[in-house]
Structure 1
Amino acid sequence: MKKSVSVLTAIALSTAMAFGSLSAQAAHPLQVDGQNLPSLAPLLEQVTPAVVNISVAGTKVTRQNIPEPFRHFFGPDALEGAKQPFRGLGSGVIIDADKGYVITNYHVIHQADEIKVTLNNGKEYLAEKIGEDQQSDIALLQIDAKDLTEIKLANSDDLRVGDFTIAIGNPFGLGQTVTSGIVSALGRSGLNMQNYENFIQTDAAINSGNSGGALLNLNGELIGINTAILGPNGGNIGIGFAIPVNMVKNLTAQILEYGEVRRGLLGITGGELTPELAEAFGHDTQHGAFVNQVMEGSAAEKAGIEAGDIITKLNNQKIRTFSELRAKIATLGAGKKVSLTVVRDGKEQVFNVTLQEAKETNIAAKSLHPALDGATLSSSDGKIKGVLVEKVLPNSPAARAGLEEGDIILGINRYRVKDMDDMRKVIEDKPAVLALNIQRGNASLYRVIR
Structure 2
Amino acid sequence: MNMPLRLLLLIVMLCTSTSNYAALPLTLDGENVPSLAPLIKKVSPAVVDISVTGANKLLPKDAQDLLKFLGPEAPTQAFSGLGSGVIVDAEQGYIITNYHVIKNANRILIKLISGHQYQAKVVGQDIQSDIALLQIDSKQPLVAMTFADSDKLQVGDFTIAIGNPFGLGQTVTSGIVSALGRSGLNLQNLENYIQTDAAINSGNSGGALINLKGELIGINTAILGPNGGNIGIAFAIPANMVKNLMQQLLEFGEIRRGILGIKGGEVTPELAQSFDLDVNYGAFIYQVTPDSAADKAGLKAGDVITAINGSNIKSFAALRAKIGSLSAGKEITLKVLQEQKVKTISVILGGEGDNLQAKAPIVIFEGATLKDAEEGQMTPGVNVLAIEKESEAERIGLLKNDVIIAVNRTPVKNQQQLLSALTESTKVRALNIMRNNRPIYIILN
Is 1:111 aligned to residue 104 of structure 2? yes
Question: Which whole-Å CA distance do the structure 2 matches of 1:8 and 1:275 have between them?
Answer: 41
Instruction: Work out which of the residue numbers 212, 221, 245 in structure 2 matches 1:218.
Output: 212
Match of 1:395 in 2: none
Match of 1:18 in 2: 13
Return the TM-score normalized by structure 1: 0.81
Aligned 8 A contact 1:53 1:91 in 2 = yes
Match of 2:25 in 1: 27
Question: Which whole-Å CA distance do the structure 2 matches of 1:123 and 1:148 have between them?
Answer: 11
Match of 1:323 in 2: 317
Question: Which whole-Å CA distance do the structure 1 matches of 2:264 and 2:404 have between them?
Answer: 33
Match of 1:238 in 2: 232
Is 1:203 aligned to residue 194 of structure 2? no
Match of 1:408 in 2: 402
Match of 1:381 in 2: 371
Instruction: Work out which of the residue numbers 130, 138, 141 in structure 2 matches 1:137.
Output: 130
Question: Which whole-Å CA distance do the structure 1 matches of 2:66 and 2:224 have between them?
Answer: 41
Aligned 8 A contact 2:127 2:420 in 1 = no
Aligned 8 A contact 2:50 2:85 in 1 = yes
Instruction: Work out which of the residue numbers 173, 176, 180 in structure 2 matches 1:179.
Output: 173
- Cα displacement (A) at 1:25: 3.8
Match of 2:390 in 1: none
Gaps of 5+ in 2: 388-395
Aligned 8 A contact 2:22 2:213 in 1 = no
Question: Which whole-Å CA distance do the structure 1 matches of 2:4 and 2:264 have between them?
Answer: 53
- Cα displacement (A) at 1:152: 0.8
Match of 2:391 in 1: none
Aligned 8 A contact 2:209 2:220 in 1 = yes
Alignment CA distance shift 1:18-1:425 (3 Å): closer
Question: Which whole-Å CA distance do the structure 2 matches of 1:202 and 1:11 have between them?
Answer: 14
Question: Which whole-Å CA distance do the structure 2 matches of 1:46 and 1:229 have between them?
Answer: 27
Letter in 1 for 2:249: I
- Cα displacement (A) at 1:425: 11
Alignment CA distance shift 1:111-1:10 (3 Å): closer
- Cα displacement (A) at 1:35: 6.3
Match of 1:258 in 2: 252
- Cα displacement (A) at 1:331: 0.7
Return the TM-score normalized by structure 2: 0.82
Alignment CA distance shift 1:364-1:63 (3 Å): farther
Aligned 8 A contact 1:378 1:387 in 2 = no
Alignment CA distance shift 1:94-1:425 (3 Å): same
Aligned 8 A contact 2:360 2:370 in 1 = no
Residue deviations 1:219-252 (CA, integer Å, cap 9, x gap): 0000000000000000000000000000001000
Is 1:157 aligned to residue 151 of structure 2? yes
Letter in 2 for 1:347: K
Letter in 2 for 1:381: K
Q: CA RMSD in A?
A: 3.9
Instruction: Work out which of the residue numbers 403, 414, 422 in structure 2 matches 1:419.
Output: 414
Between the aligned residues of both structures, percent identity stands at: 51
Paired residue secondary structure (1:87): strand
Residue deviations 1:282-332 (CA, integer Å, cap 9, x gap): 443322111111111011111111111111111111111111011101111
Letter in 1 for 2:144: E
Paired residue secondary structure (2:172): strand
Aligned 8 A contact 1:264 1:331 in 2 = yes
Letter in 1 for 2:414: D
Residue deviations 1:81-121 (CA, integer Å, cap 9, x gap): 42211000000000000000000000000100000100011
- Cα displacement (A) at 1:333: 1.4
| Alignment: residue pair count | 413
Q: How does 1:410-449 map to 2 (within 5 A)?
A: 419-420=414-415, 438-439=434-435, 443-447=436-440
Question: Which whole-Å CA distance do the structure 1 matches of 2:63 and 2:250 have between them?
Answer: 45
Match of 1:398 in 2: none
Is 1:276 aligned to residue 266 of structure 2? no
